[in-house]
Amino acid sequence: MIIKDTNPKKIFILFSFISMLLSIGCKSKTTQTKEISVSDTTKPNIIFLMTDDQRWDNMGCYGKPEFNTPNIDKLAEQGVIFDKAFYAVAICMPSRVTMMTGRYNSNHKVGFVAPDDYTLSQVDFSKSYPAILKNAGYRTGFIGKVGFTVTEEAVRPSTPKEHYYKNQMGGVFDFFAGSETYDRKDFVIWPEDDEALLDIYKEGRQNSGRTKRTGEAMMRFLDTQPANQPFCLSVSFYAVKHDNNKDVYMPHFEQFKDHDFSVPGNWVEGDNPVLPDVVKENARGVYLHRQRSSTPELYQKLVRRFATQGYSVDEQVGFLVEKLKAKGLLENTIIIYTSDNGRFQGSHGLFDKCLLYDESVKAPLIAYDGRMPEAKRKRRENALVSSVDMASTIVSMAGLQPPKSMQGRDISGVLYQTQDMSEWRDTVFMEDLFLAAMFSKRYSEEVDDINKNLIDTNKSYRSRGVRTDRWKYIVYYEHTPRIEELYDTNNDPMEQHNLVNSLEHLDILKKLRKQTEDMYQKMIQ
């Protein structure tokens, strides 16, 4: 700018006016940025809720109101529902480690069967989201099913017969009420002098149940939360896995006991002849389907019990939200709801999980942030999201930098609509490293020889693949020759028509085949 008038008074007035305009512009820009990024000087509280084996569509907000999940649906209504979230691995132990550390199964190598059957080392656990938030001043808590073992060094097998949680995790969690698989076996509590917490889990307690106990422990954590300190609480419900009476809160069963649930279009009565032979002959889901879901009567019996457990979880979610409201915490709290993996429930003629069809690998994912403006809530999101993203996202939401070890992406930009979607991923990677024949031999000294023999005799159905917005590709990579599957999920959402031999789809097959291998090689580095 050139100023020709040399009158000092005029120059002063002119510069004052320019400064005022710049000041207004800066304030306006700052206000706009704050609203978009949902940033604040106050650290948000973060609650990560995870169920066990809850199929993505077994709740109202995902299109099945017959499951009666009003509190989860209301949370979803007030937040964001992710419609294209997928598990990087769909079986409990490795899936939980993936979400806590932000690393793929083939990278962290924590799983049920050799050669990827290591425990999680304390060094690697120190790079998990709870450890990072703990070091940043958060009060941390864990309630429920841990599902994996932390040891000083990574060792095999990953399922030792003894668990010492206080030695392994004591420095990370301020509040803990959990165990490996059940809240009646190897259960550990701290603080050990919390009488109310001890009373929740006292042996022989009547009119209780594992989901009610988990919910009451959640309430206890909040009741003992100090003022002026942010918290990160991880809650891992034991439900909805298993269906024994001792695992089901039977008063909640009354509403479902005579209800005939809708049956998915890809449910198969008896055996499914179109599954790949290596799956039909070796996968655990095939014979479990015969036992549990292969007839209409068996299907209805089990789904009624899964619905009951889902309702019990839903009740606790309602109690949680009301408690946060009562304590004035909800407006500064983020709640993330998901599961550790899906379950077939007879779809494809399978029970169990692991395999890479959507009933197993598609995830329910709901994110609620009490700080978000109304205009950004109450929507569904189609961005491709992976379970490996959970750790990076939680760390970022706390205003921290995720470590380089975390391989997932921070999805908070997608959640808050600040992400340039042209730069978002177009593919997610998934894998299945579980073999039923290996699981029964996990304590054998010859596990590596047994594994090699299964591969050499073409009995391995380990697989990996990718999912794009439209396509699903699966390869059983240890089989000779390799077996592949390709599905157009837009036109075939139930994955009934394998297009791998279609000349019309050869180009997309080649592209996804290469993409799968490239993503795998990058992930294991």
pLDDT tens digits for the chain (525 residues)? 434 444 544 444 444 444 443 443 433 333 332 333 444 458 999 999 999 999 999 999 999 999 999 999 999 999 999 999 999 999 999 999 999 999 999 999 999 999 999 999 999 999 999 999 999 999 999 999 999 999 999 999 998 777 778 888 889 999 999 998 888 777 899 999 999 999 999 988 877 899 999 999 999 999 999 999 999 999 999 999 998 888 999 999 999 999 999 999 999 999 999 999 999 999 999 999 999 999 999 999 999 999 999 999 999 999 999 999 999 999 999 999 999 999 999 999 999 999 999 999 999 999 999 999 988 889 999 999 999 999 999 999 999 999 999 999 999 999 999 999 999 999 999 999 999 999 999 999 999 999 999 999 999 999 999 999 999 999 999 999 999 999 999 999 999 999 999 999 999 999 999 999 999 999 998
Q: How high is the pLDDT of residue 41?
A: 53
Name all domains of the chain by residue range, CATH numbers in brackets: 45-425 (3.40.720.10), 430-523 (3.30.1120.10)
- Cβ-contact 289, 350 below 8 angstroms: yes
Return the half-sphere exposure (C-beta side, CA atoms, 13 A cut-off) of residue 75: 33
With beta carbons less than 8 A apart as the criterion, state whether 310 and 58 touch.
yes
Q: How far apart are CA 147 and CA 181, in angstroms?
A: 6
**In whole angstroms, what is the distance from residue 72 CA to residue 234 CA?**
17
Alpha helices by DSSP H, 232-381: 277-282, 284-292, 296-326, 358-361
Using alpha carbons, select from 334, 337, 429 the residue that is nearest to residue 385. 429
What is the Rg, in whole angstroms, of the alpha carbon atoms belonging to the chain?
Answer: 25
Angle between helices 70-77 and 296-326 (to 10 degrees): 60
Q: Give the pLDDT score at 343.
A: 97
Among residues 131, 72, 65, the alpha carbon closest in space to that of 102 is found at 131
Tokens of 83: 């419609």
Helix (H) or strand (E) holding 221: helix 210-223
Interaxial angle between packed helices 92-101 and 390-397, expressed in degrees from 0 to 180 and rounded to the nearest 10: 30
Taking the C-alpha atoms of residue 91 and residue 87, their distance in angstroms, rounded to an integer, is: 9
Residue 133 near residue 140, CB atoms below 8 Å: yes
Q: Which of 431, 387, 428 is nearest to 99 (CA)?
A: 387
For residue 271, what are its two tokens?
């055996």
Q: What is the pLDDT of residue 20?
A: 42
pTM: 0.91
